[in-house]
Amino acid sequence: MGKLRKSRKFAKVKRKIRKQDRRIATEEKDKKEKKRKKTKSLVRNLPQVSSSMFFAYNESLGPPYRVILDTNFIYFSARNRLDITTGLFDLLMAKTIVYITDCVVGELEKLGPKFKVALKVSKDPRFKRLTCNCNGYADDCLCTTVTNFKCYMIATCDRNLKRRIRKIPGVPIVSIKHHQFIVERLPL
């Protein structure tokens, strides 16, 4: 006797819909068209420019410059053996008040032993602490602080944060390049 052949029943075979199926493609097209219609109907909301901005020049910035430090700026300045207060004083040629937010210190504590030196630098008594009531993500905290108060400069080496801050008018950015501090967009 030979082997008994079993044929598959049609109802028991699971059928899969291919990604190229035209039924799926039409649903996706409908969703895209609805999205386009929604975006066309919405009006673009531009942020209101503060009264301290006069012809795109921020008049709130003045000689005791207030600089808020970011996590990676502290880390790279410690790694390049640059003193932050004297470096900023030499760069801006005026008195500078250095601020650190609670979020930045919390981020340095979370990052662990690699950032131990940067954490020691952040505990410097010459730096003033800014208390913030945010969720703990430092980049969001810095952006909201700068948009609310136009008297601060941001010191960062993070590309994404720089990109976000460049969209805010009148906020200069301090960063590190070639083992020295540089400043962007500060009319002197």
* Domain boundaries along the sequence of the chain: 62-184
What pLDDT is attached to residue 161? 95
Domain 62-184, CATH class in plain words? alpha beta
pLDDT value at position 54? Answer: 60
Q: What is the pLDDT of residue 185?
A: 78
pLDDT value of position 98: 97
Please count the CA atoms within 13 angstroms of the CA of 169 that sit on its side-chain side. 14
Weakly modelled stretches of the chain, pLDDT under 70 = 1-2, 4-15, 23-25, 38-56, 187-188
- Which single residue is written with the structure tokens 């799926």? 24
The residue length of the chain stands at 188
Write down the pLDDT at residue 188: 57
* pLDDT value, residue 94: 93
pLDDT confidence of residue 30: 80
Return the HEC string of the chain. CCCCCCCCCCCCCCCCCCCCCHHHHHHHHHHHHHHHHHHHHCCCCCCCCCCCEECCEECCCCCEEEEEECHHHHHHHHHCCCCHHHHHHHHHCCEEEEEEEHHHHHHHHHHCHHHHHHHHHHCCCCCEEECCCCCCCHHHHHHHHHHHCCCEEEECCCHHHHHHHHCCCCCCEEEEECCEEEEECCCC
What confidence score (pLDDT) does residue 28 get?
73
Q: How far apart are CA 118 and CA 72, in angstroms?
A: 9
Assess contact for 150 and 53: CB atoms under 8 A: yes
Task: Give the strand order in the sheet containing 180-184.
Answer: 128-130, 95-101, 64-69, 152-155, 173-177, 180-184
Q: How far apart are CA 100 and CA 67, in angstroms?
A: 9
